Amino acid sequence: MSPRLVRIGLGLWFCAIVLFLLFPLVFLIPLSFNESEILSFPPTTWSLRWYRVLFLDTSWSNALWLSVKIGVLVTILSLFIGTASALAIVRHRLPGAGLLYGLSIAPLIVPSIVIALGMFMLFARLQWLESLTTLVFAHTVVAVPYVIVVVSAALRNLDETIERAARVLGADPWRTFLLVTLPALRPAILAGAMFAFFASFDDLVITLFVSGAMETLPLRIWNDLNLRLDPTVAAASCVMVAMSMIGLGIAEFARSAGLRRLRMENTDG
Amino acid sequence: MHPAFAPARTFSETIGAPISFQAIGKRYGGVPALHEFSLDIAAGEFVTFLGPSGSGKTTALNILAGFIEPSAGDVLIDGVSITRLPTEKRNVGMVFQSYSLFPHMDVRDNVAFPLRMRGVPKAERHARAEQALAMVRLAGYGDRKPQELSGGQRQRVACARAVVFEPRVLLMDEPLGALDLKLREAMQDEIREVQRRIGCTVIYVTHDQGEALTMSDRIVVMNEGRIEQIGTPAAIYDNPSNAFVAQFVGETNFLTAALARGRLTFAGVDAPAPARLPEGWRGRMALRPEHFTRVVAETGGAPTLSGRIDDIAFHGGSYRYVVETEKAGRVIVQEQRRHGSDGPVVGAPVTLKFSLERAAFLEG
């Protein structure tokens, strides 16, 4: 086979995979712009009606607002916990650092239904269900590992002599962290923040178990499916997809910008 | 007043501080990285720690910088113990092999960083950074990012950053290791020039013996965590105290020799013994490649080795060749080129003359 044919073949294969991955969106996006009250495909008349409902109907807008609020709090909390953990694991040569790292990213591997069940039982015993704090804590558990993974990778790539240089030139450990380490980690922290936000924003399983009567956006969609199912669901989904795409786009951009900078430092100009 | 907060000065006064390592020991697990390391360095002196990797030279430097805590002993700067002082309070400048410039700061902020840490106001620290940059011939580069500079320029920025706060002690950890040969030689001169202007005490770590010989006031040759020899470059080169030093610094030919009844015998030669050797001495003579002279016939009484020229390298001003001798194995010879005389020829028989006065005599 000629290289040209191979290239065309691979290109087609790639397109097929992307289509497969985006298949649900192919349905959702047109549905969300459908004028009709029932979820019918393909749509006959186009309108923004369901987006209006999404932002004006208080049950929907409250859910969206709650999700954003939880997401932001989870992100802030995860950044503090995750960055500090990465520093401890990578820079301070803790005994058993490898094991600690494995444990701290375990929530990425353990099925979320198991985590959710565990939390439900724990919080039920503590009578701690149905509060914003509970949800924030619960989501933070699954969000922190993303920050740890991304930040500790960046920290491993960061030449420690840069921090030593700062110390010997007069910066105490705290100023070294603020003025040298943190700026170098900024792209990784931004990427980690995006991952953490969407770990919370997208979560349904854990929320189902511990949220009580509080309704996040995914939960609102879920509840709607059980009740009546109107195209607002599709509109809400599209908003989530758009937010995810923008957020993960930023994260990916930050990550690759960080890598590019590291590469430039490691080659002589 | 703390020296760092003194008003800006011109780089001309002698500000170096004496340094004293007192029986420093460092172990990793059970393995000693540094053993009974004692050394006194005078104010303003340029001292090089020379040794192969694992010799403890970087460990000694890092202990002085405060990156490593010694297991035993004490380090004094200007007579004051700094062993318990955190790194940032030791007030020493340092240059690293990997440049270690802060990538998110421009050159000016990099150089001004130590001044910022010492609370110098912005306008003044920028002025002093510019002054330091001018000293390393990078005036006007303040707005660039480190990534936009070449390796040599980055290291000059690192030097400016290390001396901008006029430290009394400057540590350099293989600063030229990442640069190519030509640049390295130019930078050696520049570093010496900067040190002369500032007058700070310099400890320079390298595994490059040529660099050590060129730059240092004194060299500390290290191996396996111990000091092998301390001395001026000439003293170390001419009188290596043991085989390791002879081999590590410069090139050396070893000849096994023994002294009996006032005569020194080696490689089939029997010569009158130099006065400095005791009766019954046996050991090795170390002869530098340039100690040998190629002679045609008459030697005038000096000892000779004869053999065949094996391999010749042309070095511009000199030849360097290997002689396969009959009694002493392979001998490396360096010969100055002289106008109007024939150079060495591969395969030609050759007689080498040398003087025992220039040889170093090593035990064992």
Q: Report CB contact under 8 Å: A170, B147.
A: no
Is the separation of the CB atoms in B287 and B354 below 8 Å? yes
Maximum pairwise Cα distance, chain A: 70
CB B201 within 8 A of CB B17: yes
pLDDT at B86: 94
Q: Which ipTM was obtained for this model?
A: 0.82
- pLDDT at res. A12: 93
Of A161, A179, A186, the CB nearest to B100: A161
Query: For position B9, what pLDDT does the model report?
Result: 44
In order of B37, B59, B62, B66, B226, the CA distances from B222 in angstroms are 10, 11, 15, 20, 6
Test A169 with B147 for CB contact under 8 angstroms. no
Residue A18 lies in a domain: no
The answer to whether position A127 is within a domain reads yes
**Helix/strand/coil for A151:** helix
CB atoms within 10 A of CB B364: 7
Nearest to B147 among A167, A172, A264 (CB): A264
Residues of B in contact with A180 (CB under 8 A): 102
pLDDT at B13: 53
3 state SS for B31-51:
EEEEEEEEEEECCCCEEEEEC
A170 vs A181: CA distance, rounded Å:
15
DSSP secondary structure, A15-49, as one string:
HHHHHHHHHHHHHHHHHHTB-SSS--SS-SSB-SH
Structure tokens at B217: 């006031």
- Chain B's closest residue to A175, CA to CA, is B117
pLDDT of residue A259: 66
Is residue A27, in this structure, part of any structural domain at all?
A: no
CA–CA gap between residue B141 and residue B321 (Å, rounded): 47
Amino acid at B133: L
pLDDT at position B160 is 94
Which residue ranges of chain B lie beneath pLDDT 50?
1-12
- Alpha-carbon distance B86 to nearest alpha carbon in chain A (angstroms): 8
Among the partner residues B98, B113, B154, nearest to A169 by beta-carbon distance:
B113
The pLDDT assigned to B300 comes to: 64
* Averaged pLDDT of chain A: 86
Q: Which domain holds residue A56?
A: 48-266
**Among A residues 131-160, those touching chain B with beta carbons less than 8 Å apart:** 159
Determine the average pLDDT of the residues in A246-256: 81
Q: Number of structural domains, chain A?
A: 1
A26 or B131: which carries more pLDDT confidence? B131
Pairing of strands B169-173, B92-95: parallel
B35 by Cβ neighbours in 10 Å (0-12 / 13-18 / 19+) ranks as: middle
Would you say residue A29 lies in a domain? no
Asked if B100's CB is within 8 angstroms of A168's CB, the reply is: no
**Whole-number pLDDT of residue B4:** 42
Which residues from B are below 8 Å from A167, CB to CB?
66-67, 86-88
Nearest residue to A167 (alpha-carbon basis) of B94, B173, B20, B145: B94
Residue A9 falls within a domain, yes or no? no
Residues of chain B with CATH 3.40.50.300: 3-244
A10 located within any domain: no
Length of chain B measured in residues:
364
**CATH 2.40.50.100 domain span(s) along chain B:** 262-363
Spelled out in words, what is the top-level CATH class assigned to the domain B262-363? mainly beta
More confident residue, A45 or B217: B217
Q: In whole angstroms, what is the distance from residue B159 CA to residue A223 CA?
A: 65
List Cα–Cα distances, B109 to A59, A87, A181, B129, B157, in angstroms.
52, 25, 16, 8, 11
Distance CA B308, CA B324 (A): 5
Q: What is the rounded distance in angstroms from the CA atom of residue B285 to the CA atom of residue B301?
A: 19
CATH number at A191 reads 1.10.3720.10
Q: How far apart are CA A61 and CA A52, in angstroms?
A: 10
Provide the pairing of β-strand B46-50 with B201-206: parallel
The answer to the question of residue A248 being in a domain is yes
* Interchain pair A168, B171: CB under 8 A: yes
- The pLDDT, as a whole number, for residue A72 is 96
Q: Determine the pLDDT at residue B3.
A: 43
Instruction: For residue B169, give the H/E element and its range.
Output: strand B169-173
Contact present, A82 and A109 (Cβ < 8 Å): no
Instruction: Tell whether the torsion through CA atoms of B148, B152, B155 and B161 is positive or negative.
Output: negative
> Which amino acid would we find at residue A97?
A
* Residue A35, domain member (yes or no): no
Say if residues A255 and A58 touch (Cβ distance below 8 Å): no
From chain B, pick out residues whose CB is under 8 angstroms from the CB of A161: 96, 98, 100
What is the tens place of the pLDDT at every residue in A90-145?
A: 888 778 888 888 888 888 889 989 999 998 898 888 877 778 888 999 999 999 99
Please provide the DSSP assignment of B312-361 as one string: EEE-SSEEEEEEEESSS-EEEEEEE--TTS----TT-EEEEE--GGG-EE
Give Dmax (Cα) for chain B. Answer: 77
B97 closest CA partner among B155, B45, B50, B137: B155
CA dihedral B206, B211, B212, B216 (to 10 degrees): -120
Fold of the B3-244 domain: Rossmann fold (3.40.50)
For residue B293, give the 3-state DSSP assignment.
strand
A267, pLDDT greater than 60: no
Sheet with strand B269-272: strands edge to edge: B269-272, B263-266, B253-260, B282-287, B360-363
**Backbone angles phi and psi of A39, in degrees to 5:** -75, 90
